[in-house]
Amino acid sequence: MEALLISEEVVSAQRVRVSGREALCMTLRRLAYPNRLCELELFFRRHSSVISSVVSKVLAHIDYYFGHLLADLTVHKWLNLQSLELFSQVRRRAVALHDCL
C-alpha cells in the first residue's frame, strides 16, 4: 500500500469506509480474472456498488499518481524489442521466467 500511496482508509461514493488494504485487495481481485461483482460480494461481504466504487477510486488514484509511467513506453529501458520477444516466448510456452522476482 505504501508504494502505491494508498491511504489508510478509502471512502466509497456510498460513504462506506474501507481500509486501504481491503480497497487494494478488492482492486487486485477485480483485475485478477473476469468475475462478477456478485461473486465479490460474497468474498468481501460488501455490496457490489461499494466494491465497484472502491475499485474505481483505487484505479483513479493509481492512474493519477502513476499514469505518467505508462504515458510514454519508450522511456523504459527494460521495455525493448528483445525483452518483448522474450516475454512472448514465455507466454507461448507457458514457462515461468527464472530470474523474475
pLDDT value of position 91? 61
pLDDT tens for 2-14 read 899 999 999 999 9
DSSP secondary structure letters along 69-84: HHH-GGG-TT-SHHHH
pLDDT tens for 46-60 read 999 999 999 999 999
Q: What's this model's pTM, rounded to 2 decimal places? A: 0.74
Does residue 99 have a pLDDT over 70? Answer: no
Closest CA to 54 of 21, 13, 6: 13
Going by pLDDT thresholds of 50, 70 and 90, the confidence category of residue 74 is confident
Query: What's the mean pLDDT in 90-98?
Result: 62
